[in-house]
Amino acid sequence: MSEKPNQQNPKKGEPWKPKEKFDKKANKEKQKQEQEQGEGKQETNQPPQQQNKQPIQQQTVDQQPTQQQVPTNDKQVAQTNASKEQNKRKDFLSHLPIFEDYTSVSIKTVKQIDPLTLHHAFIELCIQYQNGQCIGSTHRCVEFLNALKQFIRDYKLSRQSNYFAMAFLDELKKIFNLMKNFRTVNEGMSTSYLFIRECLMILRDTRLDENESKVWLCNQIDQFIQSKIISASELIVKNATQLIQEGTTILVYARSYLIENFIINYFKQGKQLTIFVVDNPQFGEGSQLVNRLQQQGIPCYQILLSHVSYILSKVDKILVGASSMLCNGALVSRVGTALLACLASTHKIPFLVFCESYKFSEKSQIDSLSWNEIAQLEQGNENQQYTSLSLRYDITQSNYINMIVTEVGLIPATSVKAVIGEFKKYNYVDAIEVPRKEQ
Amino acid sequence: MNTQKAQPRLYSSKESILALKAHLSAKQAKLPKNPTIEDYITYIKKLSNRLKQGPLDFWIPNVFRRVIQVIRLMSSEDGFLPNKDKEKNFKALGLTIQRQSSRSKTTIETGPETGSNANQQYIILPAIEQVLEELEAHSDDINTFASTHFFTNEVLLVYEYSTTVLNFLLSAKKTRNFEIIVLESETENLGKQFATDLGKHQLNVTLTPFTNAYAIMQRVNKILLGVDAILKNGGLLMHPGTYAICVLAKQFAVPVIVLSGAHKLTPKYAFDQTTFNQLVSPLKINPNSTIDQMSIGITFDYVPPEYISLYITNQGQYTPQSIYQLFSDFYNVKDEDI
């Protein structure tokens, strides 16, 4: 049907040209040539047609295609339409990843991963990420590590590879590539990945057999969770209790594992606080926190982010959790935090961030749009004439942050780089014990 | 007795004028037998007190203030009265009207003396008509400034539903190409409605929830806001959330333009968020509220005048430093206690 001059069989003596599929440059040139040929042919075709048939064609800029040109023009039009629809969603955010919806069945088929090696724990986890059951940086990280432990226990070495460590490293990479299709990997998960990789490097140099390696690796993961997340949280709560006197009014945004623990701990010591919880109904985290506090019998006020201006004069401190802290002192957190920080600085209210040290990152970012994640929580109508946009993360600049409470102490936002430098000496975690064969 | 209810107001500005008309022509209008201009004015003031929905209802008193001001202006000029005595004294004017005995066409069936009929015909009713015309045409007057403030391919930010802003954008669309970002508040569906209404007219519209305001702000060139009331110092009472947007705009140096008809001018002063405000029912915010987990919601946000760049009204464009001039033209100082 379509006459494409490049598809003619190469004549003898002509240099071999690569196939269309793999030669992108040639494709582009071919398209240009076809356009030019199309215009050229129409110009030449019109005079004979005017002689032969009555001229129906209009001489407009978009000249009507002749019979020969119809298929190529249609194809070009179809191509541009398809590409327009893909990028139609966001003009200035087309660089951000868009995540599609998967069911558990479609994950295996679409993503071309061997179904035998993909563990059911990860499928469940990915679906939980997708429909919003598992949100919050610490929660996601812990769930991921639990799923990983389950995977390790069920993992069986294939006959070809004798070394558990290298084979498992490949598996780990595959798993991470899978996770990236559902939600972006947050900083905590990246740190745990680096930690596990270090463990595997150590394993590679020892001579443990498969079962012992698995047991050791699971133990290391448990230690990571214990030292970096659970003990860290206790230390942070202890540090923060010194900062906040009894009877102050605090404002809390959305839900953070650390802040929840802090409030519950504070009330268990018998002290009182007035708590305002700022809710973001889009993710429903604020109401989750309120329910949790209600179970513990702690009274609090609920308020929306747009109504916050009313109570800012009555609030003493603002506490906020973190997804990660960047090298330039910026805070990556739930969207809406930056707005709260800006209002806090206008009203001169101290803005405190609670963050464990494993969430510190070596990246730097200055604005919220250069990297972000688009949340697709609502199903939009096909007929709607507007595009909806909702982001997940927010960058708060370091000059809005008064103090960061971590397990290594109370640090200003600009010291994050120094802390990262300290950790680098120990590969992001404490020194890992080298396993020995049990006799 | 004014009961303070957080209800949507029963009368919009236009409806309150029509209500005034109806009240004046009703049989039970409690006017003295020979009503002078002053009598009418006191009657209108009492009526505004009766119709007001609470201390936070600004629209009815504003409109009635405007009617009174137009009445004052009209009655101090000559030419409306059949009597050609050129006395410019207010009270003398009233007396000369009372002395008239000619019957003239009236719409009033109560049958007071003919003097008041002339009053009503030549002053009161035309005054009401003029205010009504101002109200109906305010959008068109504002739209004359539509294309003077935009450049091509601008990105504009709007917040929640405002018919003034909608009309403004539709008339600006004819000469300029721009992109609109609509912020929606968490509770009501007004933001979505606004986005659909704009989208119907083939405008490039993006809808974002309120929490994304900081992330989006760096992309925005200008902010257009509709207002609930403009106070005498230039401060604004607006939909809750606008204060946060204005604070952000100042951080990013984004100009904020306020669009409003002059009927929203309120000659009062506010100092902080609590001067003119009302808490709404917690169940509106969160249906699962209990005594221990109380939800707080407010009606208005007060925005100080330092955050605004320009006010565009149907009487002209003003800066926060000069908007007080509009008050002295539009209202009379004697009526500020309504």
Buried/exposed code over A255-271 (b: 16+ C-beta within 10 A; e: otherwise): bbbbbbbbbbbbbeeee
Which of these ranges, A106-120, A408-422, B302-316, has the smallest mean pLDDT? A106-120
The answer to whether B199 contacts A384, with C-beta atoms less than 8 Å apart, is yes
pLDDT at B113 over 80: no
Given this model, what pLDDT does residue B98 score?
44
Token pair in block for residue B225: 């806001």
- pLDDT higher than 70, residue A390: yes
* pLDDT tens track for B46-56: 888 888 888 88
Partner A, chain B 196-255, Cβ-Cβ below 8 Å: 196, 198-200, 202, 205-216, 218-219, 240-241, 243-244, 247-248, 251
Res. A193: pLDDT tops 50: yes
Backbone phi and psi for residue B175, each to the nearest 5 degrees, phi listed first? -115, -15
The C-alpha R_g of chain B, in whole angstroms, comes to 23
Cross-chain Cβ contact B214/A339 below 8 Å: yes
Farthest CA pair distance, chain A: 100
pLDDT-derived band at A427, boundaries 50, 70, 90: low
Q: Confidence class of residue B100 from pLDDT cuts 50, 70 and 90?
A: very low
Answer whether A391 sits within 8 Å of B212, measured CB to CB. yes
Cβ neighbourhood burial of B212 (10 Å; 0-12, 13-18, 19+): buried
Amino acid in the structure at residue A90: K
pLDDT at residue A151 in the model: 87
- Angle A120-131/A137-154 helices, nearest 10 degrees? 160
* pLDDT of A15: 60
d(CA B87, CA A140): 85
Higher pLDDT, residue A376 or A338: A338
Q: How confident is the model at residue A22 (pLDDT cuts 50, 70, 90)?
A: low
Q: Which domains does chain B have, with CATH numbers?
A: 11-76+117-139 (no CATH), 146-335 (3.40.50.10470)
Q: With 0.90 as the threshold, say if the pTM is over it.
A: no
Residue B189 reports pLDDT greater than 50: yes
How confident is the model over B212-228, as a mean pLDDT?
A: 92
Choice between B81 and B224, residue whose per-residue pLDDT is larger: B224
Q: Which of A341, A299, A343 is nearest to A321 (CA)?
A: A341
Q: Does domain A106-231 have CATH number 1.10.3470?
A: no
Check pLDDT > 50 for residue A46.
no
CA-CA distance, A131 to A101, in Å (whole number)? 9
Confidence at residue A208, expressed as pLDDT on a 0 to 100 scale: 75
Nearest CA in chain A to B252: A342
Which tokens hold the place of B237?
């009472």
Measured between alpha carbons, how far is A29 from A154 in angstroms, rounded to an integer?
52
> Rounded distance, CA A183 to CA A238, Å?
32
Q: Predicted confidence band at A13 (pLDDT cuts at 50, 70, 90)?
A: low
Task: Say yes or no to pLDDT of A141 above 60.
Answer: yes
Q: What is the mean pLDDT of residues B76-103?
A: 44
Do the chains contact at B293 and A304, CB–CB below 8 Å?
no
In angstroms, rounded to a whole number, what is the distance separating the alpha carbons of residues A233 and B130? 69
The larger pLDDT score, comparing residue B3 to residue A123, is at A123
A85, with CB counted inside 10 A (0-12, 13-18, 19+), is: exposed
Query: Where is mean pLDDT largest: A40-49, B99-108, B184-193, B320-329?
Result: B320-329
Mean pLDDT of chain B: 80
**Residue A375 confidence (pLDDT) above 70:** yes
Element (H, E) at A318: strand A317-321
Least confident span in A154-158, A277-281, B266-270: A154-158
Instruction: Provide the pLDDT for residue A9.
Output: 52
| Substitution target from B202, B251, B293 for chain A, most A beta carbons within 10 A | B293
Return the HEC string of B141-160: HHHCCHHHHCCCCEEEEEEC
Residues A419, A408: contact at Cβ < 8 Å? yes
Q: Of B121 and A351, which is predicted with more confidence?
A: A351
Q: Do A310 and B296 lie within an 8 Å CB cutoff?
A: yes
Give the integer Cα–Cα distance in Å for B338 and B32.
Answer: 21
- Looking at residue A428, what is its pLDDT? 56
Q: Say yes or no to pLDDT of A43 above 50.
A: no
- Read off the pLDDT band of A209 (50, 70, 90): confident
CB contact under 8 A, B295 and A302: yes
Mean pLDDT calculated for residue range B28-54: 79
**Residue A381: which pLDDT band, with cuts at 50, 70 and 90?**
low
| ipTM over the 0.95 cut-off | no
For chain B, strand residue ranges (E) read: 154-159, 178-184, 204-209, 222-226, 229-231, 236-238, 256-259, 265-266, 293-296, 301-303, 310-313, 316-318
Q: Where are the alpha helices (DSSP H) in B26-121?
A: 37-51, 59-76, 90-99, 114-119
Residue A309 reports pLDDT greater than 70 = yes
pLDDT band at A69 (very low <50, low <70, confident <90, very high): very low
pLDDT at residue A65 above 60?
Answer: no
Instruction: Output the pLDDT for position B51.
Output: 83
Residues A278-304 have a mean pLDDT of 89
Whole-number mean pLDDT of chain A? 76
The verdict on a CB contact (< 8 Å) between A387 and B285 is no
Domain positions in chain A are: 106-231, 234-425
pLDDT band at A4 (very low <50, low <70, confident <90, very high): very low
CB pairs under 8 A between A and B: 145
For the domain spanning A234-425, the CATH number is: 3.40.50.10470
Both tokens of B117, joined, read 């009929």
Check whether B6 has a pLDDT greater than 50.
no
Tell me which DSSP letter residue A63 carries: P
Residue type (1 letter), B189: N
- Of all residues in chain B, the percent with pLDDT exceeding 70 is 82
Cβ-in-10-Å burial (0-12, 13-18, 19+) of A200 comes to buried
Q: Which of residues 268-297 of A touch B (CB under 8 A)?
A: 276, 279-282, 287, 290, 293-294
Q: Using one digit for the tens of pLDDT, what is the confidence trace for A314-361? A: 999 999 999 999 999 999 999 999 999 999 999 999 999 999 988 998
What one-character DSSP code corresponds to residue A246? T
Give the pLDDT band (50/70/90) at residue B289: confident
Between residues 233 and 252 of chain A, which touch chain B (CB distance below 8 Å)?
A: none
Mean pLDDT computed over A305-313: 91
Q: Where are the alpha helices (DSSP H) in A300-336?
A: none
Q: Quick one: pLDDT band at residue B280, thresholds 50, 70, 90?
A: confident
Which of A115-124, A371-380, A416-425, B110-119 is predicted with the least confidence, judged by mean pLDDT?
B110-119
The answer to whether residue A217 scores a pLDDT higher than 70 is yes
Of the candidates B87, B107, B276, the residue with the CA atom closest to the CA atom of residue B99: B87
